[in-house]
């Protein structure tokens, strides 16, 4: 394994265990030890955002339709998503991470990388710091988490996967080859089921050790630009750096996507998923005090054909409602009733906040939603809502 250029680094990856479900079980003692699922709309047409480990024993997992989850376990308890509460806990976690390490990259609401290269001397010190970090979060937030430690981000994340749940796993340079070789290729983040299938069918590859034997040129003939990632990942090579928020500045785009557990042409289910994505990217863009002038949707069908459709707007937006309306219009223009596998929304062409009146002539909801974000963050998800404003229906859209 020729990746000595990264072997002197010490990277820690934190992955909160069933984050949304763990928060609900912490706050509602009667849910502890029970199979629960978190869903944006607790109806059968919605999807599971997170499932507790008790529910996962029955095969229930994120992105699974609630209808299927209830078939797997009829007594499954469905809890409505309280994204503002989860964001509040995420902010608390970030504050804790920054106390333990100056270089923190939060990659999602429940995951982060810490670069300990200049904070600790060796892996033993990193392990001691990780133990203290786990104890601090347990004592103060009462939430379970898993930590992975290695010499790059790829292997640190792999280590946390191998350490779940509520564990601590270290992959040292001298142990990496032995750990990697027998693992299924899908254990590496970034290698999905479709890629696994092609590796099996074209190269008869099931494990990372078998993938290491495939020359780069042969991989490139099938996977093109993805080939170098596969070649390096099989060998545990990753040059990417931990980039903290202050180094990132404002993002160039903000997006989210969901791979549906079951390919579907159910219009209500597809619209429900699109609305969930609109809320996710809406909350994120408002957190940066930004507006978007371009919105893009991504639709991947059952046959893996993928289409993008975008629109540049006359008026920049950042409200959930406006994002959803434009995304739905774009979807209606390209969706032909085929079974959908993946949906995504991306906002780009971002600009700084423009001050407007609360109810201006353009019916801009963004300032209202920003105010609601702050109220809910401080006082809880039910502290404020839209009232009748959000109940107005647009003919042919909702």
**Catalytic residue of the set 89, 105, 111, 280:** 111
Out of 234, 261, 277, a domain closes at 234
In a domain, 327, yes or no: yes
Interatomic CA distance for residues 31 and 23, integer angstroms: 10
Instruction: Please check whether residues 294 and 331 belong to one and the same domain.
Output: yes
Instruction: Please check whether residues 205 and 104 belong to one and the same domain.
Output: no
In a domain, 16, yes or no: yes
Instruction: Please check whether residues 161 and 201 belong to one and the same domain.
Output: no
Whose CA is closest to 255, among 347, 366, 320? Answer: 347
Check pLDDT > 60 for residue 257: yes
Altogether, the residues listed in the chain come to a count of 398
* pLDDT given at position 354: 53
Instruction: Report yes or no on whether pTM surpasses 0.85.
Output: no
Instruction: Please check whether residues 15 and 163 belong to one and the same domain.
Output: yes
1 — pLDDT class (breaks 50, 70, 90): very low
Q: How many CB atoms sit inside 10 A of residue 250's CB?
A: 11
- State yes or no: is 201 an active-site residue: no
In a domain, 397, yes or no: no
Domain count, the chain: 3
In a domain, 243, yes or no: no
* pLDDT given at position 5: 46
Instruction: Please check whether residues 28 and 164 belong to one and the same domain.
Output: yes
Of 220-224, 234-238, 391-395, the range with the lowest mean pLDDT is 391-395
Hey, what are 194's tokens?
């479709």
> The domain spanning residue 342 has which CATH number?
3.30.1490.100
Interatomic CA distance for residues 245 and 104, integer angstroms: 8
Instruction: Please check whether residues 214 and 325 belong to one and the same domain.
Output: no
In a domain, 90, yes or no: yes
In a domain, 4, yes or no: no
* pLDDT given at position 283: 84
Interatomic CA distance for residues 194 and 300, integer angstroms: 12
Which tens digits make up the pLDDT trace of 71-92? Answer: 999 999 999 988 889 989 998 9
Instruction: Please check whether residues 135 and 20 belong to one and the same domain.
Output: yes
Interatomic CA distance for residues 357 and 343, integer angstroms: 33
* pLDDT given at position 204: 97
275 lies in which domain range?
Answer: 250-391
Of 219-223, 295-299, 348-352, 374-378, the range with the lowest mean pLDDT is 374-378
Check pLDDT > 70 for residue 392: no
In a domain, 5, yes or no: no
Q: At CA 274, angle to CA 270 and CA 280, rounded to 5?
A: 145
Instruction: Please check whether residues 164 and 201 belong to one and the same domain.
Output: no
Q: 303: buried, middle or exposed (CB in 10 Å: 19+, 13-18, 0-12)?
A: exposed
Instruction: Please check whether residues 195 and 79 belong to one and the same domain.
Output: no
Beta partners for 256?
A: 345
In a domain, 360, yes or no: yes
**What's the CA dihedral at 193, 195, 197, 200 to 10 degrees?**
-130
DSSP class of residue 184 equals B
Check pLDDT > 80 for residue 230: yes
Buried b (16+ CB within 10 A) or exposed e, 108-147: ebbbbbbbbeebbeebeebbebbeebbeebeeebebbbbb
The H-or-E segment that residue 301 falls in is strand 290-301
359 — pLDDT class (breaks 50, 70, 90): very low
Check pLDDT > 60 for residue 56: yes
Check pLDDT > 60 for residue 54: yes
Q: At CA 348, angle to CA 46 and CA 308, rounded to 5?
A: 60
Q: Which residue would you say has higher pLDDT here, 88 or 366?
A: 88
* pLDDT given at position 261: 66
Average pLDDT in the chain:
86
């Amino acid at each position: 394994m020729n990746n000595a250029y990264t072997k002197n680094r010490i990277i820690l990856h934190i992955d909160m265990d069933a984050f949304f479900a763990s928060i609900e079980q912490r706050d509602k003692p009667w849910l502890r030890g029970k199979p629960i699922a978190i869903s944006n709309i607790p109806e059968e047409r919605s999807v599971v955002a997170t499932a507790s480990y008790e529910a996962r024993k029955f095969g229930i997992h994120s992105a699974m339709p609630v209808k299927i989850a209830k078939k797997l376990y009829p007594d499954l308890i469905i809890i409505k998503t309280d994204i503002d509460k989860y964001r509040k806990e995420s902010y608390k976690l970030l504050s804790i991470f920054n106390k333990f390490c100056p270089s923190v990259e939060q990659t999602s609401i429940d995951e982060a990388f810490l670069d300990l290269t200049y904070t600790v001397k060796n892996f033993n010190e990193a392990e001691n710091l990780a133990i203290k970090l786990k104890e601090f979060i347990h004592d103060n937030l009462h939430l379970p988490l898993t930590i992975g430690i290695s010499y790059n981000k790829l292997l640190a994340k792999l280590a946390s996967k191998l350490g779940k749940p509520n564990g601590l796993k270290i992959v040292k340079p001298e142990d990496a080859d032995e750990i990697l070789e027998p693992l299924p290729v899908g254990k590496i983040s970034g290698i999905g089921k479709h890629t696994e299938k092609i590796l099996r069918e074209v190269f008869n590859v099931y494990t990372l050790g078998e993938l290491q034997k495939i020359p780069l040129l042969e991989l490139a003939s099938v996977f093109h630009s993805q080939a170098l990632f596969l070649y390096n990942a099989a060998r545990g090579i990753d040059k990417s750096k931990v980039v903290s928020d202050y180094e990132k500045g404002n993002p160039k785009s903000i997006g989210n996507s969901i791979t549906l557990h079951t390919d579907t042409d159910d219009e209500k289910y597809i619209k429900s998923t699109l609305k969930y994505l609109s809320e996710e990217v809406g909350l994120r863009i408002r957190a940066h005090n930004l507006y978007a002038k371009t919105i893009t949707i991504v639709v991947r069908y059952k046959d893996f054909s993928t289409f993008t459709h975008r629109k540049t707007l006359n008026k920049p937006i950042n409200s959930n409602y406006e994002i959803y309306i434009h995304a739905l219009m774009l979807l209606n223009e390209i969706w032909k009733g085929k079974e959908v596998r993946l949906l995504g929304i991306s906002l780009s062409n971002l600009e700084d906040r423009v001050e407007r009146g609360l109810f201006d002539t353009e019916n801009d909801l963004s300032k209202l939603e920003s105010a609601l974000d702050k109220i809910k963050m401080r006082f809880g998800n039910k502290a404020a809502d839209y009232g009748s404003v959000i109940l107005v229906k647009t003919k042919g859209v909702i």
